[in-house]
Structure 1
Amino acid sequence: MQPIQLFDLASRQAQWLAVRQNVVAGNIANANTPHYAAKDVKPFQSVMQQTGVQMAATNPAHFTEGAMAAQVTETSMISDAQVEQSGNSVQLESELMKTGQIKRDYELNAGLVKAFHRMMLMTVRK
């Protein structure tokens, strides 16, 4: 029987979300600290690309990356962070938006794990 990778992936994302929440909370806590530079963590997608978890094509009918995938490049958004007179670059509005995004991502992660767990229990019962 093949191991189920979804739970491991969800666990990794939950850990990443916890780290990101701690970083954002630190930014908010230091919003009035002179010369404090706002921090953020690398996106989860780039973290997963470095760990080497990839989809396996175990059947010839499975989709794989085509030639167009090499044409797509990742663009980075230009940071509009303004440095205050005290040298602080924390923008409370953007940090609070990040906390909302983290909350939504965590709820989605937990909901997917819950649904997958229910599905697994239904298959075992039959």
Structure 2
Amino acid sequence: MFSDLNVFKTAYAMATHAGQRQSVIARNIANADTPGYQPRDIESFQKTFESSGREVAMTATRVGHLNGIGGPKPWAEIEATPSGDPNGNGVSVEEEMLKGVEVKRQHDRALAIYKSSMNILRSSVGRA
């Protein structure tokens, strides 16, 4: 009954995106001393969500029922801006650490949305 709500799909997609981006950032940091390694990244969740062309408004599938469309998708890696190291390595550890903090905030935001939505649902069915 409540398994297909748009807010949960969005929170799940946001958390999945954060996890995948954190993996890419960790790989960049792990290769910070690899000669010729160029950093990778994933487009921001907002940019990907806006360009996906998904309808944000909810659609009714039957009387008394609202349901969102689509679901989370894997995000493609893109070339990140290289730092210009003399050995050809483009990883800036400082920039990667800042990206890691940004991703943690995104993941925390997704969890907060999920928890808040769960609390609202519990309250609505009388299980506060």
Which TM bucket (shorter chain)? Answer: 0.7 to 0.9
Alpha-carbon distance in structure 1 between the residues aligned to 2:48 and 2:58: 22
Secondary structure of the 1:40 match is strand
The structure with more strand, counted as a fraction of residues: 2
- 1:73-84 equivalences under 5 Å are 79=81, 81-84=82-85
Equivalenced residue count is 105
Alpha-carbon distance in structure 2 between the residues aligned to 1:84 and 1:48: 33
Alpha-carbon distance in structure 2 between the residues aligned to 1:82 and 1:18: 24
Secondary structure of the 1:113 match is helix
1:13 is matched with 14
1:94 is matched with 95
TM superposition outliers: structure 1 runs of 4+ over 4 Å: none
- 1:29-108 equivalences under 5 Å are 29-56=30-57, 79=81, 81-108=82-109
Cα RMSD of the aligned pairs, angstroms, is 2.2
Task: Give the drift of 1:45.
Answer: 1.9
The structure with more helix, counted as a fraction of residues: 1
Task: Give the drift of 1:15.
Answer: 1.0
Task: Give the drift of 1:97.
Answer: 0.6
Task: Give the drift of 1:46.
Answer: 2.6
Task: Give the drift of 1:87.
Answer: 0.1
Q: Among the aligned pairs, what percent are the same residue?
A: 30
- Deviation sequence 1:67-89 (CA, Å, 0-9, x none): xxxxxxxxxxxx5x431110001
Aligned-partner residue type, residue 108 of structure 2: E
- 1:104-115 equivalences under 5 Å are 104-115=105-116
Task: Give the drift of 1:109.
Answer: 1.0
Range that drifts further, 20-29 or 2-11: 2-11
5+ residue gaps, structure 2: 60-80
Cα 1:57–1:106 change in 2 (3 A) is: closer
Secondary structure of the 1:32 match is coil
5+ residue gaps, structure 1: 59-78
Alpha-carbon distance in structure 1 between the residues aligned to 2:53 and 2:11: 16
